[in-house]
Amino acid sequence: MKSATIPSIRVEPELREEVEGLLLAGESLSEFVEASVRESVRRRRNQAEFLARGMASLAAAKAEDVYVDPRTTFKKMQSMLDQARATAAKKKASRA
């Protein structure tokens, strides 16, 4: 398969200098740009999939007329957060 190119873009010299200053040892500007584009594509794909799942869940809830009260959801989430914090605190204390 042939490779393709991504259009070049004009940026302010300060941005280019900043990017070049952040390159890893042996990393080229082209490699950085490619990695950045790939990461943006992955993030947008994940966002689209997340929204699609949410919309499907909403449609199912409407069709079945089954909803969970937001307060119940927040209480469960708070409980999970409290438990995770307690576990993290125990791990930290055991290392000390």
Rounded to two decimals, the pTM is 0.65
| Span 45-72, pLDDT tens digits | 999 999 999 999 999 999 999 888 899 9
What is the rounded distance in angstroms from the CA atom of residue 51 to the CA atom of residue 61? Answer: 15
* Per-residue pLDDT at 45: 98
Note the pLDDT of residue 2: 86
pLDDT digits (tens, 9 = 90+) for 74-84: 999 999 999 99
φ/ψ bin of 76: left (φ > 0), alpha (ψ from -120 to 50), beta (otherwise): alpha
Considering the chain, what is the average pLDDT of its residues?
A: 95
User: What is residue 58's three-state secondary structure?
Assistant: helix
First to last CA, the chain: 55
Q: Where are the domains of the chain?
A: 10-65, 67-96
